[in-house]
Structure 1
Amino acid sequence: MSSQALLSLNTEQTLLIFERIIFAFSSLLNSCALFCLIRETPPHQSQIRTYLLFIQATVIISDVYFSVLFEPFPVFHVFAGYCVGLLCRSVKLTILFGIYANIVALMGATILQCSIHRHQTIVTRGRWALSQRARSVLRWLLHIIYCGPCLVFATFPFSREESETLIEKSTVDVRWIRDRGGYFMMKRTAVPLTIVALLVIILSVSFAVFALVFAHLFVVLEKRGRKSSKLKRQITISMIRLFMQIGVPILFILVPFTILMIEVCFSFDFCLYVTSIIPFHPIVHNAILILILPEYRNYFISLLEKILPGRKCCKSTGPSSAPDS
């Protein structure tokens, strides 16, 4: 048996234990972050509160789905994989992966919409200002572009008999996946590879557009800062916080998905451990959300002072809010 395509039971169990510990921490942080968004949203984020709540909802759903219902293990260097989650014995793995990819796509589309909406609250005049109709069209277009490839993959014709034949004829022995959970193996044809490539390209381009939107905002603020340096500083800090809040964590999904696309360039072990960082996405997302905004930090500091009377913690001073324009 080729060791390059073998995931031992001990390694699998270690990864599952690790993933469940991560899930316990992320569940706690998910609850804290959701509470903050509902009860403690600062004034300068009130206009994008709906977007932030939807992003948080997709983070929570993706976390529960990935760590409880799905629990996938891709088998690198062959187009195969298996999963051990609660749904894996009753639902086709290609459908399960398509659902997860669709959740991630919705998250990405909402993040981009949020950044564009924030951009439009500041850029209200000129050629970069969009009409309400243009925003509505863009919103639907983003959902179609993001979710289209995922839905195609989820509904892609998948034959159990063909999968069994491919496993038997494979030059790499992968028959062991039959004993692990729900499994599949597909031919490396143009259609599935194109779908996966489209997903990675869409996420990568979207992150680049997301960064460019904020770069343009900083240029606009630089021009306006000549009139009011205080206003410029306030809005700039607000933009940096928003970029950190919703832009940085998505890299914990984008990087593993990219590695999956070019996995033939790397060793089996490297690909395995890189994809193991996906469960960290909710933790990083929530930690940044809670730590980067003074309102959220101060709330938990006050809560800590109530739990531990007599101890005084240093709170953030000064408002984090900034006017929209």
Structure 2
Amino acid sequence: MSIYLPLHVQNAIAFAQHVLFVITTILNAIALFCLLKQTPPYQAGIRKYLIFIQISLIAVDVFIDLLTSPIALFPALGGYCVGILCQAGLSPKTVIGLICVMLTNIAVAILFCVIFKHQTLMLPCSKFKLS
């Protein structure tokens, strides 16, 4: 099966990615501002985990939308990237590996947040209390 993607379609996809990046950047900035300035004092314990999640999301947005700019080839299970890192000669395996590491970082941040909330709900005498 051969797939042809005209240049104007590729440019339209890249433009849509940049528009979505601008929108998510604005929303991420608002969320980070609220976390830094509007968090009540009794939420200070979980605040650091939420800030870690938010910063991880911003890093993934910048990496995917600006530095790699992937173009998916549907219905085929494939794609290529046209971003800065790909034009600089970074191999697709390295790009995919970095994306997996960054997404794993978000998963770990969410896990830290869930464990923290779980531990705050545990009674001090519970066998599930870690500390």
- The interval holding the TM-score normalised by the smaller chain is 0.7 to 0.9
Unaligned runs of 5+ in 2: none
Superposed CA deviations along residues 2-34 of structure 1, whole A, max 9, x for unmatched, are 3xx333323222111111111111112222211
Letter of the aligned partner of 1:72 in structure 2? P
User: Within 2, Cα distance between the matches of 1:17 and 1:79?
Assistant: 22
Structure 2 equivalent of residue 36 of structure 1: 34
Where do residues 87-236 of structure 1 align in structure 2 (5 Å cutoff)? 87-89=85-87, 90-124=89-123, 125-127=125-127, 129-132=128-131
Q: Which residue of 1 aligns with 2:13?
A: 15
Asked if 1:67 corresponds to 2:65, the answer is yes
Q: d(CA) in 2 for partners of 1:130 and 1:82? A: 47
Change (3 A) 1:35 1:13: same
- Return the offset for 1:41: 1.1
SS of equivalent to 1:88: helix
The answer as to whether partners of 2:122 and 2:129 remain within 8 angstroms in 1 is no
Separation in structure 2 between the aligned mates of residue 99 and residue 34 of structure 1, nearest angstrom:
24
Describe the superposition over 1:173-208 as per-residue Cα deviations: whole angstroms up to 9, x where unpaired: xxxxxxxxxxxxxxxxxxxxxxxxxxxxxxxxxxxx
Distance, in Å, in 2 between the alignment partners of 1:98 and 1:7 is 25
Q: Aligned pair in 2 of structure 1 residues 14, 77: CA closer, same or farther (>3 Å)?
A: closer
Q: Which amino acid aligns with 1:61?
A: A
**Cα offset for 1:76?**
4.9
Letter in 1 for 2:103: V
Secondary structure, counterpart of 2:71 in structure 1:
strand
TM-score by length of 2: 0.86
Query: Taking structure 1 as the reference length, what is the TM-score of the superposition?
Result: 0.37
**What are structure 1's unaligned runs of at least 5 residues?**
133-325
1:119, 1:42 → 2: CA distance? 20
The root-mean-square deviation of aligned C-alpha atoms, in Å, is 1.9
1:289-325 residue CA offsets vs partner (Å, 9 max, x unmatched)? xxxxxxxxxxxxxxxxxxxxxxxxxxxxxxxxxxxxx
Which portions of structure 1, spanning 4 or more consecutive aligned residues, are displaced by more than 4 angstroms?
A: 76-80
**Residues 19/78 of structure 1: CA separation in 2 closer, same or farther (3 Å cut):** closer
Give the AA of the match of 1:103.
M
Distance 1:57 1:34 in 2: 8
Between the aligned residues of both structures, percent identity stands at 34
CA distance in 2, matches of 1:92, 1:75: 18
